[in-house]
Amino acid sequence: MLSGSVKEILATKFEAVSSEDTISSCRAKMNDMHLDSVVVLNGKYMGIVTARTVAASLLDPAKAKVKTVMIRPPTAEENSRLNDIARLMVESGTMIVPVLKNDKVIGVVQGDDIIEKAMKTDFANVKLKDLMRIGVITVQSSDTVAKALGMLRYYGVNRLPVMDGASVVGMLTMHDILSKVEVEKARQTKGKGKAIFVLRSPVSRIMSSPVISLTSKDTALDAFRLMQDRGVSSIVILNELGELEGLVTKHDILRPLASKKEQEIAKNVQLTIKLPEDEIDRGKVMKYVDSLIKKYSAIISGSSLSIYIKGHREHKRGLRLMHCRLVMQGPAGSYSSIGEGWGDTQAIRMAFEGLERKLSKEKETRGKTRVGHKTLYELLGYYY
């Protein structure tokens, strides 16, 4: 489906910042150039900064340095296979992979270039019903921007379809937050005017509208070309009644292009794993994922599972305090679980055990007649 190496699409020109630059200057550069990611260089490769990591920061952007929001995703070499690069992008949640030679960045691989290459194969005709994610987290247009930002941070996503009741009326992205929200202290600054409190405003004030949509019968090529034409990275999928059916992002298009192991996992769940650099054994995490799939495949089939692990500063007996958050979205609903403990083993185990308890409860109740709020709400929607 996807062949070739990094050499074929390597971009030798890319934007970079210093780890000592302020977050605000980095954010301004990303906004001005409409960038989702920039490389961080201090003479040598340090990492990258993404719109998500910048927006997730609670630090004062005028004082905090880029190094406080920098991440270090996996890198590639000139001879790396493109399907492996696609897997790295899906796992790290980025659309850029730095390419190193002798510890120096010689260029970057962009997700758009990988997808463009794939569009010249039969993959272009794949239907969106086979790519879209379901069980999408949404926000109401009357909710505050602050609430939406909290949801973006908690669920680790970049975008939220905006609803007015049961109708999709727009899209809110991290880029909207970065470009339109100014978070300032509640004070008057002489000669600088009044502080702007956009976070208290309704989402409808800064969302992108009208929503850009396709149907599940459209193709991967239709979606990618529309994304390029409109300058967006996601497309809402609506059914014949105009109701929200799913969402397709560029990462969803990349996922089937990944290496064989990732394709096998994707038959059951769409997997995103974010780990601290050089601290967590990915194989250890995958053992829990494989066990989860075997036990609950009937429930989680077609779901997306996001795994976020980070380390705190505290240490005890040589072990670091670790935080593991799991977010699953799909046909069975949305579930989240958090585990914290000294060392990654304890944190990961606690998080997965918490998610298994919720899935076990769902498994027990399957087959029983249930009338939920959502079903009743949708039913009433046909009459009012």
Asked if residue 222 and residue 288 are part of one domain, the reply reads no
Q: Are 203 and 145 in contact (CB under 8 A)?
A: yes
CB 2 within 8 A of CB 82: yes
Predicted confidence at residue 191, as pLDDT, reads 41
Question: Structural domain tally of the chain?
Answer: 3
97 shares a domain with 19: yes
Which residues of the chain register pLDDT less than 70? 1, 56, 178-197, 259-268, 270-272, 275-279, 365-384
376 within domain boundaries? no
* CATH number of the domain where residue 83 is located: 3.10.580.10
Which range marks the domain in which residue 302 is found? 268-365
pLDDT tens for residues 267-317? 567 666 776 655 677 778 888 888 888 888 878 877 778 888 888 878 888
With respect to residue 371, please indicate whether it lies within any of the assigned structural domains.
no
Residue 258 lies in a domain: no
Q: What residues are paired with 303 via a beta bridge?
A: 269
**Rounded CA gap, 205 and 180, in Å?**
10
pLDDT the model gives residue 369: 41
pLDDT value, residue 184: 40
Summary mean pLDDT of the chain: 82
Residue 384 lies in a domain: no
DSSP 288-330: HHHHHHHHHHHHHTTEEEEEEEEEEEEEETTEEEEEEEEEEEE
272 plus 336 within the same structural domain: yes
Residue 348 maps to a domain: yes
> Do 152 and 203 have their domain in common?
yes
Same domain, 235 and 309: no
Q: In the 8-state DSSP scheme, what is residue 127?
A: B
Nearest one of 308, 1, 7, 16 to 130, comparing CA atoms = 1
Give the CATH number for residue 274: 3.30.160.100
